[in-house]
Amino acid sequence: MFSASAARILATAVLATATMYVGSAVALAAPFNVQPTPTICPGGMGPVDVTALPGGRLVVSVPEPPPAGGGRVVWVNTSTGATGITTLTNNGNRAEVVADTGPGTVITTIDGVYTNGAGQPCVLAQGGVGTTVVP
């Protein structure tokens, strides 16, 4: 039986058709295939990017200054079955999270309530991406 989060992740996997390939020493950022859609916030939100890092890690980020952050980031590694749920936090110039997903194909989604750089709360309709994470 699938949980509601797992079902949403798998539904997003159907939409997330492009996969990012990363060399063992080079990390490339790519935008979410389906950007989350912010509502009730006039300022919207910046584009959500994903970067696979060597060592089985994945960075999800939005280029916005504080107080930007929040939103629920859910990931599932379809190669290993590992999953995680976390929240974007701001490091001073970006709202981001680094997830230890392990190597494999990782489907990542973001939704929930996100605060943009203007301090406006945004309700996000789910967006997602598929990424290849390297060992």
- Domain ranges across the chain: 4-18+32-133
**CATH top class, domain 4-18+32-133:** mainly beta
Residue 9 pLDDT exceeds 80: no
Question: What H or E segment, with its residue span, contains residue 10?
Answer: helix 4-15
% of the chain with per-residue pLDDT over 70? 80
Q: What is the mean pLDDT of the chain?
A: 86
Separation between Cα atoms, residue 62 and residue 69, nearest integer Å? 8
pTM for this one?
A: 0.79
Separation between Cα atoms, residue 82 and residue 127, nearest integer Å? 20
Least confident piece of the model among 9-18, 42-51, 53-62, 115-124: 9-18
Residue 18 pLDDT exceeds 70: no
Least confident piece of the model among 23-32, 47-56, 77-86, 120-129: 23-32
Max distance between CA atoms of the chain, in angstroms, equals 41
23: exposed, middle or buried (C-beta count within 10 Å: 0-12, 13-18, 19+)? Answer: exposed
Model confidence band, residue 27 (pLDDT cutoffs 50, 70, 90): low
- What is each CA distance from 130 to 36, 40, 48, 64, 79, in whole angstroms? 14, 27, 13, 23, 12
pLDDT digits (tens, 9 = 90+) for 66-93: 999 999 999 999 999 999 999 999 999 9
